[in-house]
Amino acid sequence: MDVTLPKVHVGKEALSDFDKAIQKEWLITNGLGGFASSTVLGINTRKYHALLIAAFNPPVDRRVLLTRLDEEIFISDEAYSTEANEFKWGIKPKGYQSLTDFWRSPFPVYRYDFNGVWLQKTLFMPYRKNATVVIYEVANPHGDEASVRVTPTVNSRHFHSLTNKNYLDWSFIQKPFDHGVIIQPSAPLSTLILSSPEGHYFSGEGEWVREIYLRVDASRGDSCLDDGYKPGFFEVKLAPMETKKFHILTAAGKTESEAQTLLSSVYGGKISAVEGLYALELKRLEGLLDEFQRRHVDVKMEDWLKWVLFASDSFIVDRKSTGGKSVIAGYHWFSDWGRDSLISLPGLTLVTGKFGDARNILLTFKQYCKQGLIPNVFPDFAGENPVYNTVDGTLWYVNAVLQYVKYTGDFEFIQKELWTTLRSIIENHVQGTLFDIHMEDDGLIAHGPRLTWMDVMVGGRIITPREGKAVEIQALWYNALKTMEMLAKRFAQQEEAEKYSVMAEKARKSFVEKFWNPQNEYLFDVVSEQQKDASLRPNQVIAVSLDFSMIDKAIGEKVVETVWKRLWGVCGLKTLATDDPRYFKVYLGERVHRDTAYHNGTIWAWPLGPFVTAFLKVKDHEERWRKFAFENFLKPLFQEKIFEAGLGTLSEVFEPEPPHQSRGCISQAWSVAEPLRAYVEDVLLQRPPYERQIQGL
């Protein structure tokens, strides 16, 4: 089996093209919601760029503790620096100009050259630890002694916020110890420990770097000036002609004892323990590839696929409140969202064979089911309760259950752990629940505004309200009813099965009667008592792609053809047809503009999954069409866009017009998960092992 780890290399020439290089970012995660991220030039351009963002209440309550580490090399009365901070007036120092290479292999690696002295640093995060380890290698080819200083810039802020030292009611406190320092705000916010077993720490008086300019935040109309604190520095000596390896270890905790315990688990007084963690993380990543290859023996393990698999793993996180698992919707700024988690679940956990994680995610959202609704979002600030403003998240939950049994055949788990919750979900939708979500006399689900995935509000104005009966909600409702019918039969509950069957048939007849638009030959987007909304959006493709569909093949073919010809946008589906007067040609801009364009033309990658499924479904999965679907629909995303913004992962959205630049979050769960699922299930035609058994019930 080919478990060779993939590499992305950005060489000197590409690094010299500043305008392009500054847009390339990297991201590594720790399975807790924490992460480290920056650009390939080492210049931070977002408030979310830092070397240690710790999740104190996993996967939320995330705080920026270590912003950066900058190196200086002293030799023969000369000093060379890697530091590169941007200010409104320019970049100083310009250490990035000495950068010769950047790799993700699979961790980020920077290599600098200063008059023959080269310095290389590799960063990784130990799995399920709020820690970052930096491995340095330095070579001194000269006849004179050299020294390396490493200066941390620290902070203690929530990752959505920025620091202005003039408004702080606390100051940083340093507690030096052998080979390191404990850094804390005078207010009990956090503890950061930095240690270098091979180096010595020198406390300084402390220096603030004021008004670091974050260009991406500025372009988005967000706050963009941050202050960072330099407490002191580490120093390592190099003899003439010596090559040396050393480490900087960082550990974060809410309290000093928590951080100390964590550092001991990373280091424990032995460098071999640090090297062991590095090897363990490499082995864990190799294991992801090995497991996928074992389950899909005929799949060629190309580098792009390996990156997709690594990206898929990065979103699965611990949730402390349940002791289980959840899914981060996107990095850098999203927490775990119900809708996103459940749409992503098949691609992240089922096609990859992580059935235990799938069970844990289903149990996490079960625990928070309220009046038949799954949470829409868990806020990132500690102590806040989940928000339930979603009509589709709960129905995607039922679909996730269906996909789980298709892959595992584990009906026992469903009956024992989830069946009562599933029945409650249906009953609450029939009787009526929060946000005016209820089944009407026609058997379809009606709902209030701003409850679907197109949910933006600007200045109190809902951009895409979609109030009434949205097309994908009806498709998901029917799919849920047929799933319940299938499960009830399996559990020998014939009366229940008949009840769900009757409800499903009523919904189907109403849907066919009310949603087909014969004039335009596609489905209405929303039907209400007042009107039928003929806006051409991608939502209708879900009515074709789901396992249980209300429309026949002829209608499905017309829907797919229309979406393909009028909404396909190379790396995803446009959210509105280009001839609609509300269509936006450009997404990038300040918040009001972005939010208005968000679902009015902007391309999203995740609907590409349902689209490919629907496309190949109506083409009977013929081999020539499967090849066509990969070459035209998936390849641009997997082999081009994956190396454009966040190296080795896929962005949230893309510009509607060519060249369709990556925008939004640099790494989005459903952008990775749904195309991956469609690739495995529909392009490769490696179907879930229990699918035929399910269809027979």
Q: How far is CA 621 from the centre of its chain?
A: 30
List the structure tokens of 660: 């369709």
Render the burial of 548-586: b for 16+ CB within 10 Å, e for the rest. Answer: bbbbeeebbbbbbebbbebbbbbbbbbbbbeebeebbee
- In this structure, the strands spanning 131-139 and 117-124 are antiparallel
Element (H, E) at 397: helix 393-408
Whole-number pLDDT of residue 285: 97
pLDDT under 50 in the chain at which residues?
A: none
Torsional sign, CA 49, 52, 57, 63: negative
Residue 188: per-residue pLDDT: 87
Question: How far from 48 is each of 38, 53, 339, CA to CA, in Å?
Answer: 8, 8, 23
Q: Locate the domains of the chain by residue range.
A: 8-284, 296-315+327-695
Structure tokens at 269: 């007084």
CA 632 to chain centre: 24
209, 83 contact by CB (below 8 A): no
Q: Would you call 189 exposed, middle or buried from its count of C-beta atoms within 10 A (0-12, 13-18, 19+)? A: middle
Q: Give the length of the chain.
A: 697
Q: CATH: 1.50.10.10, 2.40.110.10, 3.40.630.10, 2.60.120.260. Which one for 296-315+327-695?
A: 1.50.10.10
Strand 146-158 and strand 573-574: the pairing is unpaired
- Cα(225)–Cα(215) distance, integer angstroms: 9
Q: What angle do CA 695, 453, 589 make, to 5 degrees?
A: 140
Side by side, the strands of the sheet bearing 662-663 are: 573-574, 603-604, 653-654, 662-663
Find tokens 């009310």 and name the residue. Answer: 514
Determine contact, residues 616/482, Cβ cutoff 8 Å.
no
- Contact (Cβ atoms closer than 8 angstroms) between residue 350 and residue 404: yes
Answer whether 558's CB lies under 8 Å from 515's CB: no
Which phi and psi angles does 630 have, rounded to 5°?
-65, -50
CA distances from 284 to 54, 139, 276, 290, 354 (A): 21, 30, 12, 10, 13
* Structural tokens at position 409: 């055949």
* Amino acid identity, position 261: T
Beta-sheet pairing, 78-81 with 85-87:
unpaired
Which of 601, 440, 470, 443 minimizes the C-alpha distance to 533?
470
Report the DSSP beta bridge partners of residue 108: 104
List strand residue ranges (DSSP E) for 345-472, in order.
438-439, 445-446, 457-458, 461-462, 469-470
Three-class secondary structure assignment of 506-537: HHHHHHHHHHEECCCCEECCEECCCCEECCCC
Q: For residue 696, what pLDDT is reported? A: 78
**CA-wise closest residue to 481 among 412, 388, 409, 546:** 546
- Rounded to an integer, what distance in angstroms lies between the CA atom of residue 610 and that of residue 591? 29
CATH number of 8-284: 2.70.98
**pTM over the 0.85 mark:** yes
Whole-angstrom Cα distance, residue 266 to residue 124?
A: 12
Q: Judge whether 28 and 108 are in contact, CB under 8 Å.
A: yes
Tell which residue, 43, 140, 150, 34, has the closest CA to residue 94: 43
Q: State the Cα–Cα distance between residues 517 and 141, nearest whole angstrom.
A: 75
Please name the helix (run of DSSP H) or strand (run of DSSP E) that holds residue 358, with its range, or none: helix 355-367
Beta strands, E only, 214-310: 225-238, 243-253
In the prediction, which pLDDT does 382 show?
Answer: 62
Q: Which residues of 68-95 are buried (b: 16+ CB within 10 A; e: fewer)?
A: bbbbbbbbeeeebbbbbbbeeeebeeeb
Amino acid at the residue 427: E
- The CA distance from 582 to 107, in Å, is 42
Between CA 414 and CA 421 the distance in angstroms is 10
Q: What is the DSSP letter of 6?
A: P
- pLDDT, position 383: 66
Please give the Cα distance from 479 to 473 (Å, whole number).
10
Q: What is the pLDDT of residue 381?
A: 73
